[in-house]
Each structure stands twice: as structure tokens, then as C-alpha cells.
Amino acid sequence: MELIDGKKVAAEMKQEIAAKVAKLKEQGGKTPHLAAVLVGHDGGSETYVAYKIKDCEAVGFKSSLVRFEDDVTEEELLAKVDELNNDDDIDGFIVQLPLPAHINDQKVIEAINPKKDVDGFHPENLGRMVIGMPAFVSATPFGIVELLNRYNVETSGKNCVIVGRSNIVGRPLSILMSQKANNCTVTVAHSRTKNLEELCRSADILVAAIGSPEFVKGNMVKEGAVVVDVGTTRVKSDKTKSGWKLKGDVLFDEVAPRCSFITPVPGGVGPMTRVSLLHNTLLAATNQIY
């Protein structure tokens, strides 16, 4: 069993991005600039946005944080999106999800200029990705594919089972894995899937993106499979400084001994998601998608 070290690969990618940014600056080009919009004070969202800002600093990007309280109106938020769309200094921006219940997430996402949609959530980017055009690909699916490629995991002709059909992970990942670059035969499983355990056992590559801690047990994994754990459920812990710890969707101790490769939580997919946003921001700043 080989542990897939997402932290190490993400650090390498960060160095590659930092080197490109340094070169851009040397040549008198612009400094990539990412803005993040954060509504309210959800603990998870606060943490993720703080990481995004910190990551920008680490590679030499500019960053801006725009904060609103929970009671911001949809109109106010849409006005800010419009302002960011028209701000020439901002290359890309994200609106951290989830948004409060009185705001329509989809309406906000659709208001983002696709050319600045470094999350890859806009229907135009999703559509472009589906038909293989240059597109901003959302960070987690992009990061997973990059991680498998950098570990030389054979994907061609393999059965890939993805458990979870979210718009930001499972569904876009299913498209990427089925495309010519990866050549997998893909099955997307979800809460209504019949014989889920048996289906999972048929997977050469099993991706757990359910959001249910330790859902995938040892008896659901084929001997020699590659297992990618996308879960990041925050659970209370008195053993960490923050008072929280992350739990994956895979029962690691049972599953790991059966795998050829497995991503740990933390230190697997999470760091790849973070660096993929930087990757997209650099693409935006250098007009490589549109």
C-alpha cells in the first residue's frame, strides 16, 4: 500500500506556481489577484477562506477578502459580484459556499463573469469542461486528477466508481475521469444506488465524496484498489489545538491495508483542492482559458 501524499504534491505545485509568478513579475507582467467573498461566520468557511488568502501570499499573489454579515441581502451580494466582475485589477474571485438560506446560491454563481470564475462553478465553465473545451475546472476534481497523474496511477480502462453526485465534486469528476485523458469507465453512485457495497467492490478506483464520515468500510473495497477520500467532516476533538479534527469518508484503518494507493485525511485531497484554486487564478491572470 502506498500513501498518496497530497500535501507533498501540493507543495511542489505551489513552488511551480510561485516560480511562474516570480517570472511574470520579472517580465513586468501583472501580479495575479484573487478575491474571496465570505458571508457570515461559519467556522468551516472562515477556515477555508483564511487558507485561500494565506495560500495567495505564499505564491506571491495579491488577495482581497470581502466580508458580509449573515443578513446581507441577495441584491447587495449581487452588486458586489458585479463590482468584482468589472474590477480590472481582480483576475478571479470566489463566493464561499454555503450562503445563508435567504440567498439563492445558483443565482449568485450565475452572476459571476465566467472569465473570473476560478471556482469553475458557473454553468458556462461546467459546460465547456463537459465538451472538452478550455475551462476553469473546479478545484477538488482538478486536484484529484492531478494527484493521480503525478503518482502515475494507471487510469486507462479502469472501473472508476464515484460515490457522491455533487455539482462541485462527484459530477464534474465523473466527466474528467471518463474523458480521453483518463479513459476510465465511470459509475456515479448516490443515496439511491442499489447494491452499493457490491458496486464499490467492483471499483479499480474508488472515490468517496459522500460527506459521511468513515462510510466506506474494508468489505467495500477490492484488494489492490486505488481509494480517494474526499471527505472533510469536522468533528469535535479535545486532542487538537483548534478543538476540531477532520474525518474522511473512508474508514482508513480497515481500508488502507487492502489498497494499492490511498489518500489520507488530512493530507490527501484537501491540499490539492487548495493549490488548484491558485492554479486557476494563475490561468485567469494569464488569460489561458478565455
Q: Which residues are annotated as a binding site for NADP(+)?
A: 164-166, 232
Query: Residue 159 carries which side chain, given as an amino acid letter?
Result: N
Nearer to ligand GUN, 119 or 124 (CB): 119
Q: Which three cell numbers stand for residue 208?
A: 468517496
Listed in sequence order, the residues at least 6 apart from 289 whose beta carbon sits closer than 8 Å to its beta carbon are 115, 134, 135, 136, 283
Give binding residues as ranges.
Answer: 164-166, 232
Nearer to ligand GUN, 7 or 201 (CB): 7
Q: Which stretch binds ligand GUN (CB under 6 A): 92-100, 122-130, 172-180, 248-256?
A: 92-100
- Identify whether 96 is a catalytic site residue: yes
Nearer to ligand GUN, 35 or 226 (CB): 35
What is the number of helices (H) and of strands (E) in the chain? Answer: 10, 11
Kindly write out the interface string for residues 97-116 of this chain, putting x where it contacts ligand GUN by CB under 6 A and - elsewhere: x-------------------
- The continuous run of DSSP H or E covering 76 comes out as helix 74-85
What's the CA gap between 248 and 214, in Å, rounded?
6
Does residue number 199 form part of the binding site for ligand GUN (CB under 6 A)? Answer: no
Does residue number 95 form part of the binding site for ligand GUN (CB under 6 A)? Answer: yes
Listed in sequence order, the residues at least 6 apart from 232 whose beta carbon sits closer than 8 Å to its beta carbon are 246, 247, 248, 265, 266, 270
Smallest gap, in angstroms, from Cβ of residue 218 to ligand GUN? 29
Buried b / exposed e over 189-205, threshold 16 CB at 10 Å, is beeeeeebeebbbebbb
Site for ligand GUN in 137-166 (CB under 6 A): 139
- Identify whether 222 is a catalytic site residue: no
Q: Which of 55, 80, 96, 229 is catalytic?
A: 96
Nearer to ligand GUN, 32 or 172 (CB): 172
Smallest gap, in angstroms, from Cβ of residue 96 to ligand GUN? 5
Smallest gap, in angstroms, from Cβ of residue 248 to ligand GUN? 16
Q: Which three cell numbers stand for residue 116?
A: 473570473
Q: Which of 14, 52, 158, 222 is catalytic?
A: 52
CB-nearest residue to ligand GUN:
97
Residue 225 phi, psi dihedral angles, 5° rounding: -70, 160
- Binding residue count for ligand GUN, defined by CB under 6 A: 6
CB 180 within 8 A of CB 157: no
Q: Which of 55, 91, 117, 119 is catalytic?
A: 119
Does residue number 96 form part of the binding site for ligand GUN (CB under 6 A)? Answer: yes
Smallest gap, in angstroms, from Cβ of residue 49 to ligand GUN? 9
Does residue number 119 form part of the binding site for ligand GUN (CB under 6 A)? Answer: yes
The side-by-side arrangement of strands in the sheet containing 62-68 is 62-68, 33-39, 92-95
Listed in sequence order, the residues at least 6 apart from 8 whose beta carbon sits closer than 8 Å to its beta carbon are none
Does residue number 249 form part of the binding site for ligand GUN (CB under 6 A)? Answer: no
- Identify whether 119 is a catalytic site residue: yes
CB 7 within 8 A of CB 267: yes
Please report how many Cα atoms fall inside a 13 Å half-sphere around the Cα of residue 178, on the Cβ side. Answer: 15
Residues marked as catalytic: 52, 96, 119
Instruction: Point out which residues bind ligand GUN (CB under 6 A).
Output: 94-97, 119, 139
